[in-house]
Structure 1
Amino acid sequence: MSRKLHIEVFRYNPATPDTKPYMQSFFIDEFDSMTLFIALNIIRDQHDPSLQFDFCCRAGICGSCGMVINGRPALACHTQTRDLPDHIVLHPLPVFKLVGDLSVDTGVWFRDVGTRIESWIHTRKEFDPSAEETRMENELANQIFELDRCIECGCCVAACGTARMREDFIGATSINRIARFYMDPRDERSEDDYYDLIGNDAGVFGCMGLLACEDVCPKKIPLQDQLGIMRRMLALNSVKGILPASVVKKLQNHKGCCHEKH
């Protein structure tokens, strides 16, 4: 027997500041294989066309439909209503600028942090459009691809306690992003260069280790592993003039804790 779903939605339009945020209830019939994305479209089509929420691909690729679902950041298109209680409470992702209702602007945040971490290959080689693409070993390419699967949905940022308290914290997604360049043999930056970018409280040393980022990642990217790898590398780099070189080298070669620079 299908359930009657009670979906409670946060409503507020910042463009009309005279209004106040409030929660609005909708009641719809559930059917087999219903996703929260479908439920929201039913609400907008049949109950209130003014409801704002974002979507594009409906397949967990674009990351547009991130929202807080019963207190947990997730993608609406990935969330089956059968996995939720019949009372569903929806809020917009925190940290990001609110556009209206469940819609937030993640683009400005990701563009800003991408600039701060210099999210591009740094090389002194002059670009030759006619040259063959640089080759790398398949195993390394697969490792880099694993980190490149981030869809920038913002769920990990919204779940991060540090990001909620510090506007300058770059978040697990950005540390994962810069770890991708650390592994890339085409990137010629030194460990000192990486330290200057993220070796502070706004970077790897600001994480409180609550693990929420990895728990809510819809693509199951090993965010905490990458944060640990980068934190270890930068911590060792900061004491390389203090600890004996033999000790630093031994710690750097401890398998399972850090990637070697390829």
Structure 2
Amino acid sequence: MSQEGRILKFEIFRYNPQKKGDEPRMVPYEVTETPGMTLFIALNEIREQQDASLQFDFVCRAGSCGSCGMVINGKPDLACRTLTSKFEDGQITLLPLPGFELIGDLSVNTGKFMQAMSERVESWIHDIGTDDMNFNKLEERMDPDIMDEVYELERCIECGCCVSACATKRMRPNFLSAVGFMRLARFYLDPRDKRTDEEFYEIIGDDDGVFGCMTLLGCEDHCPKNLPLQTQIAFLRRRMVMVK
């Protein structure tokens, strides 16, 4: 429960790999809690009033961009949607998301991973070809139920929390992870994409794809958007089993 004037005690990971001689360390900070305070607000207060060198990322401040993902008291989550009032003892430990290239402190390069993932799953609608395409032709109407399924997967904000919570990813650096499966499932469900099951199999039909998932549920447990990650992974796995 939020207590106006309560002192919040932070332990924040600090390390700048670009700074010669810098060493990883945990640095303590204290912030006076205000009503409705989020970790995003607290971090900005620390940077503005105590340490301008603190690095962390943000864009939307509304849980839509995924930029502020970090490990909060041992669990991947978004700083902008985490209220400080949930921490009854006022003790908060912040670390960068594992599994991504560290930029500095709490800032990691999720964009590099997401771009590689997007290219790997060929994240665009594959039509039968462009030679005979009529670009003035209207698209066929999509079944509302399928549209709802596609929209559900489009809610993924690619924050990287599922990647950081994935034990398989720790063991297999090339494992596609739930975020990649969600992206591919979105195109698999889309009737406009003309790829065959065999073509999808070439992308995810191995141990670095859906058959490598150990179903530990870490991704689904820590998805800020509560997406049905395991349901979609199981769906893709069943479809790929039918190919071979």
| TM-score normalised to structure 2 length | 0.94
1:33 equivalenced with 2:36 (yes/no): yes
Write the letter of the residue equivalent to 1:105: N
Task: For 1:81-160, list aligned pairs within 5 A.
Answer: 81-84=84-87, 85-126=89-130, 127-160=133-166
What's 2:47 paired with? 44
For 2:213 and 2:20, locate their aligned partners in 1 and report how far apart those are by CA, in whole Å.
Answer: 34
Write the letter of the residue equivalent to 1:62: C
Alpha-carbon deviation of 1:17?
Answer: 4.0
Residue of structure 2 aligned with 1:200, choices 188, 191, 206 = 206
For 1:220 and 1:226, locate their aligned partners in 2 and report how far apart those are by CA, in whole Å.
Answer: 13
1:214 equivalenced with 2:220 (yes/no): yes
Secondary structure in 2 aligned to 1:58?
Answer: coil
Secondary structure in 1 aligned to 2:242?
Answer: helix
Task: For 1:1-12, list aligned pairs within 5 A.
Answer: 1-2=3-4, 3-12=6-15
What's 1:64 paired with? 67
Query: Structure 1, residues 192-235: CA drift from partner, whole Å, max 9, x if none?
Result: 11111101011101111110101111111100000000011111
For 1:174 and 1:99, locate their aligned partners in 2 and report how far apart those are by CA, in whole Å.
Answer: 22
**Gaps in structure 1 of 5+ consecutive residues:** 239-262
Instruction: Give the superposed CA RMSD.
Output: 1.1
Deviates more, 1:123-132 or 1:215-224: 123-132
For 2:71 and 2:53, locate their aligned partners in 1 and report how far apart those are by CA, in whole Å.
Answer: 19
Write the letter of the residue equivalent to 1:79: T
What's 2:16 paired with? 13
1:232 equivalenced with 2:204 (yes/no): no
Q: How many residues get paired?
A: 238
**Gaps in structure 2 of 5+ consecutive residues:** none
Deviates more, 1:116-125 or 1:48-57: 116-125
Deviates more, 1:121-130 or 1:220-229: 121-130
Query: Structure 1, residues 6-26: CA drift from partner, whole Å, max 9, x if none?
Result: 011000001014211000000
| TM-score normalised to structure 1 length | 0.88
Query: Structure 1, residues 94-147: CA drift from partner, whole Å, max 9, x if none?
Result: 111100000001011011011111111111142443222332111111110001
Query: Structure 1, residues 33-88: CA drift from partner, whole Å, max 9, x if none?
Result: 11000000010011001000000100001110000000100000010011124110
Secondary structure in 2 aligned to 1:237?
Answer: coil
Over the matched positions of the two proteins, sequence identity in percent amounts to 53
For 2:207 and 2:124, locate their aligned partners in 1 and report how far apart those are by CA, in whole Å.
Answer: 22
Write the letter of the residue equivalent to 1:117: V
After the TM superposition, which segments of 4 or more aligned residues of structure 1 sit over 4 Å from their partners? none
